Amino acid sequence: MASLAALRRRLRQQASGAKAKVLQRFFRTGPGEYGEGDIFLGVTVPQTRAVARQFTDLALADVARLLSSAIHEERLCALLILVHRFQIGDEREQYRVFQFYLRHLRRVNNWDLVDLSAVNIVGAYLVGRPTALLARLAQSRNVWERRVAIVATFAFIRAGRFRPTFTLAQVLMADRHDLIHKAVGWMLREVGKRDAAALESWLRPRYQKMPRTMLRYAIERFPPPRRRAYLAGTA
């Protein structure tokens, strides 16, 4: 059985003080910023992923301890372990991981932690099941829970089902946080990659009321003249 102490040693062997300083700024860890208080070792995502692969049999109690850590890469490593377990697990194990993830959702508290886990656990589990959970998360006062809701719909998009994304995008159009605007726009763009007509059909009656960042992300892959028309409000 893998040990928590060994995992932490392995992460620290990859640490870089210079990278940590860059990451502290990039993830907005200053007073009053969305990542306030988050601590970085300076380990890259590929490095963290490699460590996670070596400790996929870590006891769930130790995964929970990692998730409770103030260190960003330790929380990320815990989430990557959960993603791996979900992907290789049978239906019973997937349910176990899904429920564990939801119990510890308050520790999925930065945008990369959400983006690297929500679609592969929450979204993957809910495809083919009721989506009431996503509707509840989209109404949460917690910005990260709202982001989990919309990013999880990527699993539905990959399955050719766009309604969950459109439904949550409608709810989140009034959101005031730019991290939600970016996530919604990203998911809409992913719909457009697969069905441009479906995206435009949804956008046309709404785009003039959308937050600018959300719209820019959604139409990023449109031909330049079409993109300019949307931005000018003349599409």
| β-strand partners of 71 | 39
Q: Are 34 and 88 within 8 A, CB to CB?
A: no
Residue 166 corresponds to which amino acid?
F
- pTM across the whole model: 0.95
What is the structure's pLDDT at 30? 86
- What tens-digit pLDDT sequence spans the chain (235 residues)? 679 999 999 999 999 999 999 999 989 888 888 988 899 999 999 999 999 999 999 999 999 999 999 999 999 999 999 999 999 999 999 999 999 999 999 999 999 999 999 999 999 999 999 999 999 999 999 999 999 999 999 999 999 999 999 999 999 999 999 999 999 999 999 999 999 999 999 999 999 999 999 999 999 999 999 999 999 999 8
User: Cα(185)–Cα(81) distance, rounded to whole angstroms?
Assistant: 28
Task: Specify the pLDDT at position 1.
Answer: 61
Query: Distance between CA atoms of 98 and 152, rounded to whole angstroms?
Result: 12
> Which one-letter DSSP state was computed for residue 6?
H
Amino acid 71: pLDDT: 97
**How does DSSP assign 166-217, residue by residue?**
HHHHHHHTT---HHHHHHHHHHHHHHHHH-HHHHHHHHTTTGGGS-HHHHHH
Helices 4-13 and 45-54, axial angle in degrees (round to 10): 150
What b/e sequence results for 209-224 when a residue is b if at least 16 CB atoms lie within 10 Å of its CB, and e otherwise? ebbeebbbbbbeebee
DSSP string, 39-96: B-----HHHHHHHHHHTTT--HHHHHHHHT-SBHHHHHHHHHHHHHHHHHS-HHHHHH
Per-residue pLDDT, 235 = 87
Helix axes 72-88, 91-103, angle to 10 degrees: 160
C-alpha span between 89 and 96 (Å, rounded): 10
Give the three-state DSSP class for 129.
coil
Predicted local distance difference test score (pLDDT) of residue 214: 98
Cα separation, 6 vs 55, in Å, equals 9
Counting Cα atoms < 13 Å in the Cβ hemisphere of 92 gives 0
State residue 2's pLDDT score.
74
